[in-house]
Structure 1
Amino acid sequence: YIYTGELDLTEQSGENILDLLVASDELLLEELFEHVQDYLIEKQTNWVRENFIFVLNTVFRLDNCKRLQDYCLESIREDLLPFFSSKSFPSINKQILLGVLKRDDLQIEEIIIWDYLIKWGIEQTPGLGNENCDRENWNYEDYEALKNTLNQFIPLIRFAGISHADFFDKVRPYRNIITDNIYEEIEEFHKDALPITTMLPPRIGLIFKSNIINQKLAKIIINWINNKDAMYINNRNGPFYKLNIIYRGSRDGINNRSFRIRCNGRVESLVLIKVKNTNKIFGGYSSIGFSSLGCGYIVEYGYRFYNSSNNFIFSFEDGDDTQNMKISRVVKETQAIMVHKENAFSFGWGSLVMSGNGLYANNSSQSYENKLKTATVYTIEEIEVFTVNRKCEDLIL
């Protein structure tokens, strides 16, 4: 390579390529370094994923290897269990594990994080591990040693995201490794669900599972629900949300009847729609739900209309769109939701409507702002509806 500028890595193992990355960094061969880093990400994806801990322990020593570091961490975030359950997990560098646990968007139950952190801490603590793994035989010094090992990690655990049962079964036995102020707040929280002050709130995005949008777009929608700018960053003092899936078209059927059966009643709801033959995503938030809304309606032109000042509809150009997204808030609050026997749901009179497997957004009555208006009739490929629950003590978005 030094003489010709040419390099063929197709026959090389992932480990050899990683060694080459380290060598090119040490020799200050910047062009080669960038090429090898990209090659590992693009051509050695499976090997990198199968050897995350080995790769991470190697590349986190390289200051210039930010792309590969970020790639590994993002992949881990999306599927954390293989990372934790790897035989190499006990050898993970402390700073790497700290960086992972500081993230708000880990998609795994908090109690699983706790379990693996305890296992890692035991392996890292002299005098514990294989030679002294039975907690029944531990003395005060053993607990103090484990406490010292994990003192930077314990404050990063989102105890508010751990159920009462798991707290008593799996956290309380390690009471001696948790500082008094944190443990006392955990106990009070689980007794009375008191406000969180010392503990970190549950992680963002832990339970949101969608076939249509990712966490990034979900956070934008939550910001819109809170009347914040799309890219607002939660300061941890705002409301938190739990989104429960109640309807998925690919599972329940894409038709009016299935929608009405599963999405009835006056409940705060979010609908997401992926349409065929395009990457576009549509959706809407209704603070009052969609059907079987009971009394409190007005009748216009023979149709029932329900009032809400908070409803909005939106669209994204694709699953990664944060530049061309559109939101249209309700203008005629008394026409926020229309109930019609031919529709599954209708935001306003034609602002965003599902009828059968068709989606319409012609905004014929100007019930909502006019940013989504289109004459196109879309065919629904996938649709999901979630109930929106605020200030949940367990898991949040």
Structure 2
Amino acid sequence: MKRNLLERLSKNFGEYLEGGCGYDVKIHVGKYYDQKTFEAHSMMLAARSLYFRRKIDDIPMNSRKSVIELRELEIPPNIFKPLLRYIYTGIVPLHNLEAEDFLDILCITNEPLLSDDPRSVVDFILAADKLELNELVNYLQNVLIEDRTEWLYKNMDKIYARISNHPSLKTFKNFYKDIIRNNIELMFQSDNFINIPLSDVILMVSRDDLLVDEVKIWNQVVKWCVSQFPDLSRNPEHWTSKECNNVRSMMENFIGLIRWKYISGDGFTSHVMPYAKIFPVKLYQDLVIYYVNKNERPRFLDLPRRVGKIESNLIPFKYASLISQWVEDQNEKSTWQWFASKKEVNTEKKTIQYRYNLLIRGSQNGFSKSDFLKAYLYKGPTITLVRLEGTDLIIGGYNPTPWTPSEKPDPRTRKSFIFAFDNVHGNPVEVGRISKIENSGTYPIISITDKGLKFGEDLSLTFADIQNEISSTLNYHSIEYTLLENVQKELENPIQVKDYE
């Protein structure tokens, strides 16, 4: 009943707006050939929008006319109309959230107001932000992120740069910053890169784990800087002195972040020397001397090589280094088999060629199948790690393909593998790893089942019942490839999972 009464109230206010009875405000919006005047009521505007309340209150009472005239020239009529209707009715102009084209925005009268064009949607949100319709702004940010993540990602180049300087759109900004952080190489080399704000580009280039060839980093930075000046020639030889100064002032943000000693002499000659005019003279001279005589080591060579990293509570850097090497090996070799005995891992710190971004942690995000699917679905390649209760054993697997809900994984997968670690006095001991059973055509594919995960045919992880349990269990079998016998003796079957990532 309460809902019905509110719907009736909303409808009545909508009719009040449409009827124009008793209006005391005229709002002129748009400019040039796209202008329109809307009639409204000062009481409603002041009650719903702090922006309009201030504008109305700023007009001295002794100079107010019977009809107040306001101008919002920067807001086009097709954007202002649904905003005004929202002010009166509280109806958020999103129609049919389940439909693919849910951004086709309709008013009560079924009149199309906005399409799913990202520019129009951003215009709408920015106008709502200007009018300080804070509840609407927050709602739109949350509903778009929750229900149209793919759409936001696809249109990042048309959205992120426009919203980045608006403090009230923090939810959007954090969403896009997470995309950049978790997909930094992809974003760095995408077409969207030139639209990323300066502050984010600086953060990207300064990261020690940006896994892109240094000369490509240089090329992308140059591309970004040049693109900030749309009329600038792409050939630096054609730049005027003023244009060189403009690019130089922009490049000053990045030159000190480039790891010069990891750009080859050929790379320097082909990709850096053409832009000699944008360098500080002394720095460029030092670079030329360095590439002529590698015994010269200026201070700007102190930055370390960029390497990968891992966000894990279960394994340290040295484990990740070994797993990275296995992934590389698997790209080159066709068969592996279990080691016949435990083998102590070389714990000397090495670089890792990949960044391992945490998608889910059981103790933090939950142990149910739905928790796993929400974090993993359609993402890949991935590493899954399982720490078992009452032991230092870690079971894991590498899946080179994106996860799907199907219980029938792609049999063509040839690069998956499973592995196990034991922790002895703080050093990882390699219990075993396998990619292909010797004299067999099968691979230990990691797949989703109705109860959990399967690591090949040997190990199965059963997720907890979200209503009754707080952890999961691991079951294993003795078939063609198996855990070492001495390891099996240490474990119960099934054994409880302490945590997984």
Using structure 2 for the length normalisation, give the TM-score.
Answer: 0.44
Cα contact 2:202–2:254 (8 A) shared by 1? yes
1:39-74 CA distances to partner (integer Å, 9 max, x unpaired)? 222333333223323211221121132232122233
In 1, Cα distance between equivalents of 2:259 and 2:147: 36
Cα contact 2:422–2:430 (8 A) shared by 1? no
In 1, Cα distance between equivalents of 2:196 and 2:217: 14
SS in 2 for 1:7: coil
Matched residue, 1:155: 256
By how many angstroms is 1:170 displaced?
1.4
The amino acid across from 2:337 in the alignment is: N
- Structure-2 change in CA distance of 1:172 and 1:332 (3 Å): closer
Superposition RMSD in Å: 5.5
Which deviates more from structure 2 when the two are superposed, residues 34-43 or residues 3-12? 3-12
Map 1:46-65 to 2 at 5 A.
46-65=150-169
Cα contact 2:185–2:210 (8 A) shared by 1? yes
The amino acid across from 2:179 in the alignment is: S
Which deviates more from structure 2 when the two are superposed, residues 51-60 or residues 136-145? 136-145
Matched residue, 1:27: 131
Matched, 1:184 2:266: no
- Structure-2 change in CA distance of 1:109 and 1:6 (3 Å): farther
Matched, 1:252 2:356: no
- Structure-2 change in CA distance of 1:22 and 1:165 (3 Å): same
In 1, Cα distance between equivalents of 2:90 and 2:426: 66
Unaligned runs of 5+ in 2: 1-85, 95-101, 106-115, 357-367, 373-382, 400-420, 439-477, 497-501
In 2, Cα distance between equivalents of 1:330 and 1:119: 50
Using structure 1 for the length normalisation, give the TM-score.
Answer: 0.53
SS in 2 for 1:191: coil
In 2, Cα distance between equivalents of 1:203 and 1:27: 45
The amino acid across from 2:213 in the alignment is: E
Matched residue, 2:423: 329
Unaligned runs of 5+ in 1: 209-214, 227-239, 285-311, 320-326, 345-353, 367-372, 379-397
SS in 1 for 2:165: coil
In 2, Cα distance between equivalents of 1:104 and 1:119: 21
Matched, 1:41 2:145: yes
Give me the identity figure in percent. Answer: 22
- Structure-2 change in CA distance of 1:105 and 1:34 (3 Å): farther
Cα contact 1:161–1:201 (8 A) shared by 2? no
Map 1:102-113 to 2 at 5 A.
102-113=206-217
Matched residue, 1:237: none
1:314-370 CA distances to partner (integer Å, 9 max, x unpaired)? 468999xxxxxxx9631498x95689xxx99xxxxxxxxx9854346974688xxxx
In 2, Cα distance between equivalents of 1:36 and 1:187: 55
SS in 2 for 1:281: strand
By how many angstroms is 1:198 displaced?
5.5
Q: Which of 482, 485, 498 is matched with 1:358 structurally?
A: 482
In 2, Cα distance between equivalents of 1:374 and 1:187: 65
1:3-25 CA distances to partner (integer Å, 9 max, x unpaired)? 44442522232433323322332
- Structure-2 change in CA distance of 1:148 and 1:282 (3 Å): closer
- The structure with the larger Rg is 2
Q: Which of 201, 211, 217 is matched with 2:304 structurally?
A: 201
Cα contact 1:360–1:377 (8 A) shared by 2? no
State the structure with bigger RCO (CA 8 A, min sep 6), 1 or 2: 1
1:144-191 CA distances to partner (integer Å, 9 max, x unpaired)? 443222111222333344345423321244344334358737964893
Matched residue, 1:71: 175
Cα contact 1:361–1:375 (8 A) shared by 2? no
SS in 2 for 1:40: helix
The amino acid across from 1:256 in the alignment is: Q
